[in-house]
């Protein structure tokens, strides 16, 4: 059962795709839609870290501390991008989910940038971001020798872009 209700038709997914008999098979609106799949929770080095994938993918700036995804059988999601320099496909693992269900509460008890000590420091400001992501695999990706459209899903992972912000937390001893 879905816990979030993001569902958006991707206009780049065709309404019909070629089938094995030489005809066309129509795709439903559901097959052409990205659906909410989960959240990635990052601790950020500071408030200057952006939501750019280059920052979130840089362990000197951002560290993935939690991942939650729908309990629906979708686990590892890989995007495929054509590399002109190597004339081949680059496969990038975007998420490797646990398929345990979405949680909306997270207790953070360690500093991912703590170095020798992972203990949180009282009254120090920590920075976090939560990135929702969606999934669509209307047709499993098939490798080709050229970057031509073969009517298979090259990018099943789609990160959120309008719902991302930096959150701060300052631990302290309770009174």
User: Is 89 within 8 Å of 82 (Cβ atoms)?
Assistant: yes
Residue whose C-alpha is closest to residue 62's, from 47, 41, 44: 44
Q: Give the pLDDT confidence score for residue 4 in this predicted structure.
A: 74
Main-chain phi, psi angles of 129, to 5 degrees: -140, 155
Q: Which helix (H) or strand (E) covers residue 154, if one does? A: none
Phi/psi at 75 (5° precision):
-120, -85
Would you say 133 and 158 are in contact if contact means Cβ atoms under 8 Å apart? yes
DSSP class of residue 71 equals: S
Q: Decide if pLDDT at 123 tops 70.
A: yes
Q: Is the pTM of this model over 0.85?
A: yes
Distances from the Cα of 80 to the Cα of 2, 83, 90, 147, angstroms: 26, 9, 6, 10
Contact assessment for residue 47 and residue 62, using Cβ atoms and an 8 Å cutoff:
no
Element at 53 (helix H, strand E):
helix 53-56
pLDDT digits (tens, 9 = 90+) for 65-76: 999 999 999 999
The answer on pLDDT for 2 being more than 70 is: no
Q: By C-alpha distance, which of 164, 138, 162, 131 is closest to 41?
A: 131
Q: Give me the pLDDT at residue 145, please.
A: 85
pLDDT band at 124 (very low <50, low <70, confident <90, very high): very high
Classified as helix, coil or strand, 56 is helix
CA angle 149, 15, 162 (to 5 degrees): 85
Read off the pLDDT band of 52 (50, 70, 90).
Answer: confident
| Helix, strand or coil, per DSSP, at residue 69 | strand
Mean pLDDT score, 90-108: 93
pLDDT at 137: 93
């Amino acid at each position: 059962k879905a816990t979030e209700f993001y569902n958006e038709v991707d206009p780049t997914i065709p309404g019909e795709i070629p089938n094995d008999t030489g005809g066309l098979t129509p795709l439903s609106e559901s097959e052409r839609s990205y659906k909410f799949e989960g959240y990635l929770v990052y601790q950020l080095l500071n408030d200057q870290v952006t939501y750019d994938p280059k920052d979130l993918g840089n362990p000197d700036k951002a560290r993935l501390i939690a991942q939650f995804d729908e309990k629906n059988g979708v686990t590892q999601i890989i995007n495929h991008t054509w590399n002109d320099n190597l004339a081949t496909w680059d496969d990038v693992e975007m998420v490797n989910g646990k398929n345990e269900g979405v949680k909306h509460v997270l207790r953070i008890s360690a500093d991912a940038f703590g170095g020798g000590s992972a203990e949180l420091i009282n009254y120090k400001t920590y920075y976090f971001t939560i990135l929702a992501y969606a999934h669509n695999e209307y047709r499993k990706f098939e490798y080709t020798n050229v970057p031509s459209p073969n009517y298979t899903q090259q990018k099943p992972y789609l990160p959120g872009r309008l719902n991302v912000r930096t959150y701060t937390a300052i631990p302290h001893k309770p009174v």
